[in-house]
Amino acid sequence: MSKMTIYHNPACGTSRNTLEMIRNSGTEPAVILYLETPPACEELAKLIADMGITARQLLRKNVEPYEQLGLAEDIFTDEQLMSFMLQHPILINRPIVVTPLGTRLCRPSEVVLDILPDLQKGAFTKEDGEQVVNQDGKKIK
């Protein structure tokens, strides 16, 4: 079994679908409920760097703190944006998955299939009814 981590929000359908695809590959990941246990600043910076994105690209925009803090304005440094994310973890987009093959923001959830070391063990259908893995464990599309 390979070591994997998911930064998870159980209230989010995309996050739930991603977790179930990891489990469908035969792996039980470490689940970090990041709203309750946000990453440390260094850990957040490493995740962003490993994903090859900017702090702004990790910001969740449709949540209250985004508007309240005026984050739509492009006047903040990555360090400032990360500070806001640590103060308000709801601003961190999810789910983030770390596997031996890479770190990704899994939106849409099937992005996780690109970084899972093990194939899917069977078909997988997302909560909305979209089938993303066929009965042979192969990605559809």
pLDDT per residue as tens digits for the range 82-107: 999 999 999 999 999 999 999 999 99
Active site residue 12: yes
Residues 6+ apart with CB under 8 A from 10: 16, 33
pLDDT of residue 140: 87
Q: Give CA–CA dist 124/21, Å, rounded.
A: 7
Boundaries of every domain in the chain: 5-133
Q: Is the pLDDT at 25 greater than 90, yes or no?
A: yes
pTM for this predicted structure: 0.94
Q: Residue 92: phi, psi to the nearest 5?
A: -80, 120
The active-site residue out of 6, 7, 9, 12 is 12
Return the CATH number of 5-133, one of 3.30.830.10, 1.10.1740.10, 3.30.1330.60, 3.40.30.10: 3.40.30.10
Digit-coded pLDDT (tens) for 31-81: 999 999 999 999 999 999 999 999 999 999 999 999 999 999 999 999 999
Return the pLDDT at 2.
52
